[in-house]
Amino acid sequence: MLVGIGVTVISLWYGQNHGLLPVAASDEASQIDGLFNTMMTISTGLFILVQGIIIVAAIKYRRRKGDNTDGPAWHDNLPLEILWTALPAVIILGIGVYSFEIYNSMGGLDPMGAHDHGTMKMQAKMRGSAIAATLSDMEQKTPQIPSRKLVALGVGASPENEEKAPDLVVNVTGLQYAWIFNYPESGVNSGELHMPVNRDIQLNISASDVLHAFWMPEFRLKQDAIPGRPSELRFTANKVGEYRIVCAELCGAYHGAMKGLAVVHPPEEFDTWLQEQQVASTQNLEQAVAVNPGELSDGEFLAPYTSELGINSENLKQLHPTHHHK
């Protein structure tokens, strides 16, 4: 009895104080941590029990000096076999049910049930040296795949938030070897994930080339990014700070360098950041992602430099290709 009490106390203490997890930065992290701590408690108890029996048996039943006789024969022990079969089965079943309840409470059973996924957009293939076209043009020219039923992937809204729209939606695209974040409501594109604290965030995750895995360890969330398949992560960040984004799926030669940064701001700071990005993305370029110089007229090509050269628009209109010939 004393041994059992000692093993239980040690297991409970270590299960809550193992220090193996990074800081928890989302509301959902506490549930995952609870499951992990439970498994660590059970694992610690079983480890102490099994290793303790091995050590005691090795000492108690060791061969004595001068004893060259055979040990007593062992036969089947039905109660012992039932015990070591039933006990792991019960433990695994219990952890499985616990895991299922956590997954369900986080919204994992139907992450995209409230959304219309009748069509999916194929990724546009950019070729050559042109850095051309606006995002809106790209979306208009993107072909559509016919509607078909797909299994929902990811973690969506929790049951109590199923009817509520998220506070912020971010489209996440994985490609070799970076993460690109698009804020559809504002038209902002960024190489970092910025979000306000204590707000319901929805990430729509996709991949443009090969299989990637979007993993945020401090948020306890990970979801595969699959070409041609939409997936979702919905969560609430509850700690201001900077956190890691890692690709957890081998995606090529530079997979180890495919890392990103998630920045959680106070709401006011996030609004300021978003406004700054909007100004930066529209200033002078009018939302143009890029332009192929070979497709521009002389006037269009020289327009950005006219203010510095003291040339007005009327002078540019007078340019004619024949003026360049000698």
Q: Which of 308, 221, 207 is nearest to 27 (CA)?
A: 221
- What average pLDDT does this structure show over 228-250? 92
d(CA 312, CA 306): 6
What is residue 161's predicted lDDT score, i.e. its pLDDT? 76
- What average pLDDT does this structure show over 188-196? 93
What is residue 294's predicted lDDT score, i.e. its pLDDT? 61
pLDDT-based confidence at residue 109 (cuts at 50, 70, 90): low
Same-domain check for residues 32 and 163: no
Q: How many domains does the chain have?
A: 3
Alpha helices per DSSP H over the chain: 2-16, 29-60, 78-105, 135-141, 267-282, 298-302, 306-309, 313-317
Q: Is the pLDDT of residue 115 over 50?
A: no
CATH of the domain at 157: 2.60.40.420
- What average pLDDT does this structure show over 7-14? 92
Question: DSSP letter at 108?
Answer: -
Same-domain check for residues 19 and 164: no
What is residue 158's predicted lDDT score, i.e. its pLDDT? 78
Same-domain check for residues 142 and 276: yes
Same-domain check for residues 100 and 213: no
Q: Which residues span the domain enclosing 101?
A: 2-58+82-105
Same-domain check for residues 206 and 318: no
What is residue 123's predicted lDDT score, i.e. its pLDDT? 36
Q: Is the pLDDT of residue 325 over 90?
A: no
Q: Which of 90, 68, 211 is nearest to 153 (CA)?
A: 211
Same-domain check for residues 320 and 205: no
When the pLDDT of each residue in the chain is averaged and rounded to a whole number, the result is: 79
Residue 305 in any domain: the answer is yes
Please write the tens of the pLDDT for every residue from 243-275.
999 999 999 999 999 999 999 999 999 999 998
pTM, 2 dp: 0.69
Same-domain check for residues 154 and 256: yes
Residue 269, C-beta contacts closer than 8 angstroms, at least 6 positions apart: none
Please write the tens of the pLDDT for every residue from 124-155.
333 233 333 334 443 444 344 444 555 567 88
What is residue 308's predicted lDDT score, i.e. its pLDDT? 55
Residue 196 in any domain: the answer is yes
